[in-house]
Structure 1
Amino acid sequence: MKQESLLTPDLAHNMRLVGYSDQGGRSDGVQLMVHRGYAYIGHMFSKGFSVVDVRDPQSPKTVAYVPAPPNTWNIHLQTHDDLLLVINAKDLFAAPEFQDEREYYQGALGRKVGTAQAPSTSRNWRAGLAVYDISQGDTPREIGFMPIEGGGVHRLWYVGGRWAYASALIDGFSDYVFITIDMSDPTRPREAGRFWLPGMNVAAGETPSWDASRRYGLHHPIVHGNVAYCAWRDAGLVVLDVADRSRPRLLAHRNWSPPFGGGTHNCLPLPDRDLLVVLDEAVLDHQEDGEKFIWMFDVREPSNPVSISTFPTPREADYRSKPGHFGPHNLHENRPGSFVSSELIFTTYQNAGVRVFDIRDAFRPIEVGAFVPSQPEKLMDHRPNRAKVIQSSDVFVDSGGLIYSTDYNGGLYILEFGGLR
């Protein structure tokens, strides 16, 4: 546990700290799922994933650590019932070619990794999707694996049933593409269909129409019914009809980069209001990639999404001058079984912590809560020239309203929101 002074936040507005965990000394975290009293946390730099018992949120306890295979990362994962799905992909932030993070966020990733060219026989990482049995919550047991010929899987969407959805870096493609995954037999998941933007299929001779400095690759989809809302990084928003999981088809594509900086990371549908919240990730220090926004779209007509507002940017401190990234990174995705709201949006802002927004007026989102942790105890980011600074990464809100947030350096924070006033 940190010293008490280090648990005093730099800012707390309408939010308070309930509990904290350094995740067994592996205090770097990316995506987390809270499921049946356990938090499952993918690591960015410590490899593998950890399990934290949060049944007593004031005293969370790390109960398991599952190491990743060599040269592989497990940064993203999903839970449902007795299953935990964990991505396996090349550990890019450990690779020499990506020690300058600009190289990761610019240009065709597949060309840099080597998967867009002829398949290599010398790959030293595990690529695909691992499936774990978590009927014993503190003892994940791998029961299935779907291999990917290429760089691997980046991020998933799975809320039970037959179908999962993911972004995958596959041999012959310039960057991550959309795939559907048949989970009818969890011990043998298999790819069922795929979609890519024209120009991405290098092996088929397609030529990109965008500037070579752009990252036209899928971050991940969120699926509601037969519609997949896809965050396609510098290509913006892609909406797919997935009624036929073997043949996804394009409904709409909207891109606002340029003039804005790109990096689209989440596309969260709010079906009861015909709204879509779209978040652009800040990927460089000091807003070198421009000020990034969270956008509100009207999607009453799915084939014609219309932007109607942006969320306010935190202004109470000079976060742009602070070390690290300043701007949106992730948001709570309203998973079934978690806290589901079409009036409150929970987000992470990296060096500006965790933020809560009231969107009852969709044309005028208002910040109603903020929590900025203090400087982390140690630096987990092993890349050169990185600062010891908070980088709030992911946020998950459980059905009771408790907020869980990971950090690249700082561990797991369990928070409480004071509510709308």
Structure 2
Amino acid sequence: MTLPDLPTPDFAKNMKLIGHCDQGGRPDGVQLMVNKGFAFTGHMFSKGFSVIDVRDPRNPKPVNYIPAPPNTWNIHLQTYGDLLLVINAKDMFSSAEFQNEVEYYTGALGKKVGTTDHSRARDWTAGMAVYDIKDPANPRKIGFMPVEGGGVHRIWYTGGRWAYASVLLDGFTDYIFMTIDMADPANPREAGRYWLPGMNAAAGEVPSEEARRAGLHHAVVHGDTAYGAWRDAGLVIMDVSDRTNPELVVHRKWSPPFGGGTHNCLPLPDRDLLVVLDEAVMDNCADGIKHIWMFDIREPSNPVSIATFPVPSEADYVNKGAHFGPHNIYENRPDGLVSDQLIFSTYQNAGIRVTDISDPYRPTEVGALVPPTPERLVDHRPDRPLVLQTCDVYVSKDGLVYANDYNGGLYIMEYGG
């Protein structure tokens, strides 16, 4: 069998590219999961989501595409066991008000979408879809949880009764935290909510900083604790021992002086550490250099920042174009690799990075791979540059690294460590 030619990376250190796929002509990808030898990826611009057979990682093959409902995106998804959970929300980047991405990343999103005053017509599907993936190549929709508002942004689900989501609901200024009862996967139900003071506009609350995004990107949950990345509002740790009534443990905010955009909070419970990533959201670092932070959380009510990850510097990434800086980290999925020593992250135009945190005070880069410029621009927004924008990363139990791009398809790599 002749294998397809592989793109040549712009830079590689201790990593090797072994497979690539354009995902059936839909090379744009956002969140990425691997389950039973199949990759599931949500699309930013091609709508819907795709399934790619990666049982032979050197020859990945697209096997299915499920379109999104009209005016709806399915950019984020979760798989565990025989279930696939897919978000349904307003397709923001197809809307006139968000063609300039600055409008999406600044200010109260609910005012622009219309959830604070119900002023906009609703022509999208909002909620969470549930699929049976016993046959992973052929997801079968079995349930849907509708919500009133902009929709669900991102979910955390690792099996069992509970899922957790960020949701833009009518009456709120931005995405809030929701617990979801999955006891009957065909009929998921909201269980509880938490929001920061000032977000419930319907109740007369007023945000303290109108110009900034105080909305939950998502939370990673370990045990009875949820670690929430609340964009410009920073880190919000919640007690979810009562799933119907999440409560605040502590809120830490560092923007300003730093640029905000908090996107991931990954607990490493055996070491009392927390990795927190701030997303770079503006071209050419107009929002400043963003960081991945190490926090000491041995006293949960007082998380303390103790280090930042090294910033890629082997090329002039600031001026390469588009976004330079962190976007996602691999979140130690229980059906994938679980490590509290190596952190796999995506740096957008600087590709994929592997960081050794065995000494949490001195994180050290030990691997990197920067794919080449994508062959074509799938991003339909005006004036977007054709530049690598590595988006998400997943690491399997056998150590294979899967990553995708807003325009460049699925990359499969081996880490040499």
Does structure 1 retain, via aligned residues, the 8 Å contact 2:4–2:59? no
Change (3 A) 1:2 1:93: farther
- Residue of structure 1 in register with 2:177 after alignment: 178
- Residue of structure 2 in register with 1:280 after alignment: 278
For residues 104-143 of structure 1, give each alpha carbon's deviation from its aligned partner in whole angstroms, at most 9, with x where no partner exists.
Answer: 00000000000111375x3110000000000111000100
CA–CA distance in structure 2, aligned partners of residues 109 and 329 of structure 1: 20
- Residue of structure 2 in register with 1:387 after alignment: 385
For 1:21-36, what aligned pairs fall within 5 Å after superposition?
21-36=21-36
The answer for unaligned runs of 5 or more in structure 2 is: none
SS in 1 for 2:391: strand
SS in 1 for 2:24: helix
Does structure 1 retain, via aligned residues, the 8 Å contact 2:343–2:357? yes
CA–CA distance in structure 1, aligned partners of residues 129 and 117 of structure 2: 25
SS in 2 for 1:93: helix
Aligned pair partner of 2:341 in 318, 343, 346: 343
- Residue of structure 1 in register with 2:15 after alignment: 15
- Residue of structure 2 in register with 1:221 after alignment: 219
- Residue identity opposite 2:170 in structure 1: D
SS in 2 for 1:361: coil
- Residue of structure 2 in register with 1:163 after alignment: 162
SS in 2 for 1:23: coil
- Residue of structure 2 in register with 1:364 after alignment: 362
CA–CA distance in structure 2, aligned partners of residues 118 and 93 of structure 1: 20
SS in 2 for 1:25: coil
- Residue of structure 1 in register with 2:124 after alignment: 125
- Residue of structure 2 in register with 1:97 after alignment: 97
Does structure 1 retain, via aligned residues, the 8 Å contact 2:80–2:335? no
Does structure 2 retain, via aligned residues, the 8 Å contact 1:119–1:171? no
- Residue of structure 1 in register with 2:290 after alignment: 292
Distance apart, 1:281 and its partner CA: 0.1
The answer for unaligned runs of 5 or more in structure 1 is: none
1:190 is the counterpart of 2:156: no
Aligned pair partner of 1:409 in 407, 410, 415: 407
Does structure 1 retain, via aligned residues, the 8 Å contact 2:3–2:58? no
RMSD: 1.1
1:71 is the counterpart of 2:63: no
- Residue of structure 1 in register with 2:109 after alignment: 109
- Residue identity opposite 1:348 in structure 2: T
For residues 229-264 of structure 1, give each alpha carbon's deviation from its aligned partner in whole angstroms, at most 9, with x where no partner exists.
Answer: 000000000000000001000000000000000000
Shift >2 Å, 4+ stretches: 1-4
TM-score, normalising length: structure 2: 0.99
CA–CA distance in structure 2, aligned partners of residues 79 and 18 of structure 1: 24
CA–CA distance in structure 1, aligned partners of residues 351 and 300 of structure 2: 32
Does structure 2 retain, via aligned residues, the 8 Å contact 1:2–1:377? no
- Residue identity opposite 2:150 in structure 1: G
- Residue of structure 2 in register with 1:151 after alignment: 150
- Residue identity opposite 1:311 in structure 2: F
- Residue of structure 2 in register with 1:303 after alignment: 301
Does structure 1 retain, via aligned residues, the 8 Å contact 2:165–2:218? yes
Does structure 1 retain, via aligned residues, the 8 Å contact 2:126–2:152? yes
Does structure 2 retain, via aligned residues, the 8 Å contact 1:119–1:150? no
SS in 2 for 1:7: coil
Distance apart, 1:301 and its partner CA: 1.1
For 1:304-323, what aligned pairs fall within 5 Å after superposition?
304-323=302-321
